[in-house]
Structure 1
Amino acid sequence: MSTNSLGNDVPADANEHCPGPQSAGAGKAAGCAGCPNQEICSTQAQGPDPELSLVTERLQDIQHKILILSGKGGVGKSTFTAQLAFALASSDTDCDVGVVDIDICGPSVPLIMGCAGEQVHRSAAGWSPVYVQDNLAVMSIGFMLPNNNDGGDDESAAVIWRGPKKSGMIKQFLKDVDWPALDFLLFDTPPGTSDEHLAVVSLLKESGITGALIVTTPQEVALQDVRKEIDFCRKARVPILGVIENMAGFVCPSCHGHSQIFMPTTGGAQALCDDLGIPLLGSIPLDPRIGRACDFGSSFLDTCADSPAAQAYLAIIARIRQIVKQT
């Protein structure tokens, strides 16, 4: 987000003369014409969100809140989120970790983390997240779809929601879920810079965001969108902890030879990070066993500790721990 001449926060993709989504003229002023957020702003309640304080209160015992972002779909963002969560929770039994899946239309975290088919239970304290292990909790709309709650078996049912409804669900994930005290709360986001991203940044404005991790693959078609994601973070004042280059080559499990699958024609993530002054936290090579671990909802780092990809994951996670200690 940026700030207009009236001191109001405005979305990163807003028109030049945006009055701000919380102003009386939001969605109706002359500067709103043609803005991609016009419908959202004109239908939402104006003025400061009265429930923002409830979100802040609910998250007050969470130490680090980290967004995992990617400009391009299919770069392994959800996979990285899940493996990061597994590693943080497994490396230290005193480290409590939560994952919020805010990819409303494509929730894949329940399958990747081995808790698909679970249900969210209500109590006087609010919704209870699903626990993968004692110190690892997950929240996703995937737990609330009809195939999970009414005995149906249609796992291909689409979530067809407009922006305000998606934003409302994300708000519920934060203010209505009985989150325990956590060391890390990871947010798995959809690709791009859309309603979900604007909603979570706005909702975490008071409680604070530790930073964002940006996942990419080496080829230029992915890096092009990553540049947009970096621009979004800077406009929204979200600190960037670093970039992770995923699928950076393939190491043959038999001969250990290295092959480039996605060619870094413009220098890959390293060149991008050097150009924009952002740390590259590491590169993770392809390993077919990562996909198998995701399909079965298991920790790749536990089952394939000898893999070069697992060693790359561990090195990146160690750097993340070091960076967040300094924030």
Structure 2
Amino acid sequence: MQVNPALAERKQRIDSNMSKIKHKIVVMSGKGGVGKSTASVNLAYGLSLRGYKVGILDADLHGPNIPIMFGKEGVKLSKISEPLEITENLHISSLSFFVPDNSPVVWKGPQKITAIMEMLEGIRWGELDFLIVDLPPGTGDETLGIAQNIGTDSKAIVVTTPQKVSILDSTRAINFAKLINLNVLGIIENMSGFICPDCQKEVNIFKKGGAETMAQEKKLTF
């Protein structure tokens, strides 16, 4: 099989860029609307408060919401190489910095893979303790492109909600991760309940425990 020299050289540059990052964690989900981006932001911000150098790569090309969650809606950058500083220890990069607001991204698979590789190659994170990658829902081109290029030492966290449909889709995401040799660190069950502001008791919005059962079956951390 003939290897494309240009692609091989790009892969080498990506590997060199990623080698400066100690830990790479992708946050994924089987379906949308489960709070994956919220989990990514909270994880990254929490690590930065502990003194770690952290970057967030918003790899959800069709719904890049990470800048909005940090109050950076409408911010535009001129160079992909420069991530946006949130705090001294936390920087972010997103496709939304380079496309018009409210403009849909209508790309086919090869275009998505090219965009992913350009971000992995071009963003100059420098020395990081953690890179958190917020993936789009499902197991499409972006997820595969990240997994194949971010490095074999990367890990995954799967976010789900307690409903049966979400659990089923998350099971597919876990099986996908195992298929491509992406180590799953654990599962987060989101939106299972809230604390009542009056009585301070936990109120279950949906039947909880689905993710915990799935974690036990898959021998994963919950």
Look up the match of 1:64. 23
Structure 1 168/249 Cα, relative in aligned 2: closer, same or farther at 3 Å? same
**C-alpha displacement at 1:50, in angstroms?**
3.0
**Matched residue, 2:205:** 261
Answering whether residue 217 of structure 2 is matched by residue 271 of structure 1, we say no
Q: Residue 165 of structure 1: SS of its match in structure 2? A: helix
Whether 1:51 and 2:5 are equivalent positions in the alignment is no
Q: How does 1:229-248 map to 2 (within 5 A)?
A: 229-248=173-192
CA distance in 2, matches of 1:213, 1:46: 34
Match of 1:139 among 79, 93, 101: 93
Structure 1 residues 121 and 48: alpha-carbon distance in aligned structure 2, compared to 1, 3 A threshold: closer
Contact 2:78–2:98 under 8 Å retained in 1: no
Percent identity over the alignment is 35
SS at match of 1:121: coil
Q: Distance in 2 between matches of 1:209 and 1:70?
A: 20
CA contact (8 A) 1:63 1:184 kept: yes
Q: Deviations over 1:207-237 (max 9, x none)?
A: 3333100111111110000000010010000
The letter of the residue matching 1:179 is W
TM-score, normalization by structure 1: 0.64
Once the 2 structures are TM-superposed, how far is the Cα of residue 46 of structure 1 from its aligned partner? 9.3
The CA deviation at 1:144 is: 0.5
Answer 1 or 2: higher relative contact order, Cα 8 Å, separation at least 6.
Answer: 2
1:118/1:130 contact within 8 Å kept: no
| 1:76 aligns with one of 14, 32, 35 | 35
Of 174, 177, 185 in structure 1, the residue corresponding to residue 120 of structure 2 is: 174
Unaligned residue ranges in structure 1 (runs of 5+): 1-22, 25-44, 147-154, 281-327
CA deviations 1:125-151 (Å, max 9, x no partner) are x711111112111110010112xxxxx
Q: Which amino acid aligns with 1:270?
A: E
Aligned Cα RMSD in Å? 1.8
Q: 2:195 aligns with which of 236, 240, 251?
A: 251
Larger radius of gyration: 1
- Normalising by structure 2, we get a TM-score of 0.94
Report the 3-state secondary structure (helix = DSSP H, G, I; strand = E; otherwise coil) of the residue aligned with 1:114. Answer: coil
Residue segments in structure 2 that go unaligned for 5+ positions in a row? none
**Residues matched between the structures, number:** 221
> What is the Cα deviation at residue 156 of structure 1?
2.2
